[in-house]
């Protein structure tokens, strides 16, 4: 064990002791009627997690799905009118949880703070997706450990795990309990059985009205013991059977049904699953998208210059087009850039998107170097804020 990990685990053990003591006050507000309603919106981002947790004046985005599902996340945020986040919390470093962090950081959505698990494997700190996203905003990451508490309306968002570092990244996943609405929600991240049993044995798993099922409903998580302790009335599973055929596991579904939980899967809702906890009672509904604007016409990608590392968007129409929140994807490298708020292209005009490698400064700057490949095919894709493909430039 290296010195850094040893220090981290000593710190963690101290946090555990404090957390165990805090359980004496780990309860719902004295009067459920006085508590702000607590909502959890599990966005359909395929086999991945992107959760909007809100209460009072606080809204957190917990995980950001895969990079290729940024369109679904962008669409949901636009539909819900989300322009400001109290914080972005990355539970662990798997791509189906952190892939959209960079795109979010290049967007105009205001983020007050960036958070991530203090324990992680397989990536150096400077390459951690949370570190890179925060740095793009001139911010720093707050590393979360068991016992840490974040504000959440009249309640709180409390970290209960992981207690120790693991070589299995899923078991480094943050596990949190959201308190509000006269009850609790357990957000299990991707914790597998070893992390579950560690938390159960430490007496840190409380009864909760809502369970955000761990690891997309795979069989290596959500044991019968966990369900028995949590006693959820509502269970939410974020997954896509098309992407991960063994999810949700029939064993997990059986555990939940045997305890009387109502089960909701994000893949069965166009937009996602909305859970509301109010006066101690949870309700859930499958959410579809509201009507969206007509697909914009006459907007095209043009004049990509790999040597100069820039690309243009031209408006061939007769009216101005607001392209705020639209995004461009490089096919070969997978780089993604979200156009900033207030980007409008007038009729007949172009918007030049330069990069850090460009000799010129465009109308907007893509904050990466060497985006467009100089010698190999590298298609460019333009999407609107709702994730709809607008144009392709081969």
pLDDT digits (tens, 9 = 90+) for 58-114: 999 999 999 999 999 999 999 999 999 999 999 999 999 999 999 999 999 999 999
Write out the residue limits of the CATH 2.60.40.1260 domain(s) in the chain: 299-393
Distance, CA of 339 to CA of 2 (rounded, Å)? 42
Confidence band, pLDDT 50/70/90 cuts, at residue 207: very high
Long-range pairs for 352-359 at CB < 8 Å and ≥24 separation?
352/310, 352/311, 352/312, 353/310, 353/311, 353/312, 353/313, 353/328, 354/308, 354/309, 354/310, 355/309, 355/310, 357/309, 358/308, 358/309, 358/310, 359/308
pLDDT of residue 32: 59
pLDDT of residue 290: 81
In which element (H, E) is residue 251 found?
helix 250-258
3-state secondary structure labels for all residues of 7-66: HHHHHHHHHHHHHHHHHHHCCCCCCHHHCCCEEEEEECCCCCCCEEEEECCEEEEECCCC
pLDDT of residue 34: 73
pLDDT of residue 33: 64
Q: Over the stretch 254-292, which tens digit does the pLDDT of each residue have? A: 999 999 999 999 999 999 999 999 999 999 999 998 888
Strand order in the sheet with 262-265: 149-152, 155-161, 175-180, 183-187, 210-212, 234-237, 262-265
Contacts of 381 (CB under 8 A, 6+ apart): 328, 329, 331, 389, 391, 392
Q: Which class is 299-393 in CATH?
A: mainly beta
Q: Over the stretch 124-168, which tens digit does the pLDDT of each residue have? A: 999 999 999 999 999 999 999 999 999 999 999 999 999 999 999
In percent, how much of the chain has pLDDT > 70? 92
Q: Domain 3-287 belongs to what architecture?
A: 4-Layer Sandwich (3.60)
Write out the residue limits of the CATH 3.60.15.10 domain(s) in the chain: 3-287
288: phi then psi, degrees, rounded to nearest 5: -100, 170
pLDDT of residue 30: 46
pTM above 0.75, yes or no: yes
Check whether 219 has a pLDDT greater than 60. Answer: yes
Confidence band, pLDDT 50/70/90 cuts, at residue 7: very low
On average, the pLDDT of the chain sits at 93
């Amino acid at each position: 064990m290296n010195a850094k990990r040893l220090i981290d685990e000593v710190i963690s053990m101290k946090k555990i002791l404090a957390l165990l003591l805090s359980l004496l006050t780990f309860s719902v507000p004295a009067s459920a009627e006085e508590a702000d309603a607590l909502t959890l919106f599990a966005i359909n981002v395929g086999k991945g997690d992107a959760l909007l947790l809100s209460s009072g004046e606080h809204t957190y985005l917990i995980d950001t799905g895969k990079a290729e599902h940024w369109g679904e996340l962008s669409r949901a945020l636009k539909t819900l009118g989300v322009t400001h986040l109290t914080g972005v919390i990355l539970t662990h470093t798997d791509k189906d949880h952190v892939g959209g962090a960079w795109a979010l950081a290049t967007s105009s959505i205001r983020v007050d703070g960036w958070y991530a698990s203090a324990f992680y494997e397989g990536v150096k700190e400077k390459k951690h997706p949370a570190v890179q996203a925060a740095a793009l905003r001139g911010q720093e990451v707050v590393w979360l450990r068991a016992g840490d508490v974040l504000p959440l309306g009249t309640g709180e968002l409390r970290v209960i795990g992981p207690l120790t570092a693991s070589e299995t990244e899923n078991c480094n996943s943050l596990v949190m309990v959201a308190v509000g609405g006269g009850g609790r929600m357990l957000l299990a991240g991707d914790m597998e059985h070893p992390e579950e049993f560690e938390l159960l044995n430490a007496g840190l798993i409380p009864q909760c009205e809502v369970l955000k099922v761990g690891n997309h409903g795979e069989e290596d998580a959500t044991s019968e013991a966990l369900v028995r302790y949590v006693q959820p009335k509502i269970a939410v599973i974020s997954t896509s059977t098309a992407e991960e055929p063994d999810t949700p596991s029939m064993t997990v579904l059986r555990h939940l049904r045997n305890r009387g939980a109502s089960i909701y899967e994000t893949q069965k809702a166009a937009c996602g699953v909305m859970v509301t906890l109010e006066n101690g009672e949870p309700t859930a509904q499958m959410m579809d998208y509201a009507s969206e604007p007509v697909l914009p016409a006459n907007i095209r990608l043009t004049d990509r210059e790999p040597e100069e590392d820039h690309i243009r968007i031209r408006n061939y129409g007769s009216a101005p087009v607001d392209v705020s929140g639209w995004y461009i994807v490089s096919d070969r490298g997978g780089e993604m850039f979200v156009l900033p708020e207030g980007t409008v292209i007038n009729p007949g005009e172009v918007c030049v998107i330069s990069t850090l490698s460009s000799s010129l400064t465009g109308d907007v700057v893509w904050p990466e170097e060497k985006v467009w490949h100089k010698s190999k095919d590298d298609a460019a894709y333009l999407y609107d804020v709702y994730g709809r493909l607008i144009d392709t430039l081969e």
